[in-house]
Amino acid sequence: MLIGGSVSLDEQVRQCRDAATRLGIDVVVDLVEKPSTSGYKERGRHRPGFKELLEHISAGRIDCVIAYKTDRLSRGGGQGWAPLLEAFEQAGRDLDRAVATPGGWVSEFEIGIRATMDREESKKTSERMTAVRAREAREGKPRPSGQRGFGYSLDWMTIDEAEAALIREAADRVLRGESTYAIATDWNARGVPTVNGKQWSVNVLVTIMGSPRIAGLREHHGAVVAEGTWPAIIDRATHEQLRAVLAPSAAVVNLGLASTPSSESCAVDSAVGLFGLWSARTAP
């Protein structure tokens, strides 16, 4: 797993622990947030890991925090950093010895400068990634998620013929007037699993059958923008007929069977970031 395109999580941990040793800090807890956690959105103040860090500070369990980079703590500018500095201040900590990186202590003054720079850089990165995602969509490139889509290999480039046959079967049954509830119930009775090995729900079946992906079409922000570079399971005409028939069903939530995780549906564009926090305590 890479952070910033070059440094692995294990390497970040190693460098932060080495810094703790040099600075005479005893590490009492490691906080590592999920890769999808953003330090930019909502100024990073509502992340579970960040909230847990503030709780440790308020409870007096830690005296400082070591982060691989300051932007792993927040990319929210001064407002994003404010809760952290306030927590340390209320706990009676020296703000010039509250935050450290592998390069050493980061003073309160330096935090103010870095906060603005990190926020601006994150904004530019977000804009660049948005442009890249839009270009990839226009070029018809797939946007796989970590979950394989029903009917395809993980990278979308190879059709799973057994699952594709089921999709075509379902398309034919829907266009002949059969309900998605009846199809989902039938597949469950036949022991047909979802890609997660779970039972079918109407929601999952409707999402898959209405997805442009199975017709080889690239969707971006809810609109088809290009022919995809992967093979289609059904033709476009069939897809458009299915969309028209399924439109009312798509608005129904949790109809019939219990819903399964949304990862069964087609992939959506999302930016991924990894933010590691290492909370520490100074040695007595």
Domain at 144-264, CATH from 1.10.730.10, 3.90.1750.20, 3.30.450.20, 3.30.2020.30: 3.90.1750.20
> For residue 45, what pLDDT band results from cuts at 50, 70 and 90?
low
Q: Given phi > 0 = left and psi -120 to 50 = alpha, else beta, which region is 221?
A: left
Nearest C-alpha neighbor of 204 from the set 151, 268, 266, 119: 266
Pair 119, 80: CB distance under 8 Å: yes
* 263, 223 contact by CB (below 8 A): no
Statement: residue 23 has pLDDT above 80: yes
Q: What is the pLDDT of residue 51?
A: 85
Confidence check: pLDDT of 56 > 70:
yes
pTM: 0.51
Highest mean pLDDT among 9-18, 31-40, 191-200: 191-200
Residue 209, pLDDT score? 96
Question: So where are the chain's domains?
Answer: 2-134+272-282, 144-264
| pLDDT score recorded for residue 41 | 52
| Residues 62, 64, 65, 68, CA torsion sign | negative
Domain 2-134+272-282, CATH number (from 1.10.760, 3.30.70, 1.10.287, 3.40.50):
3.40.50
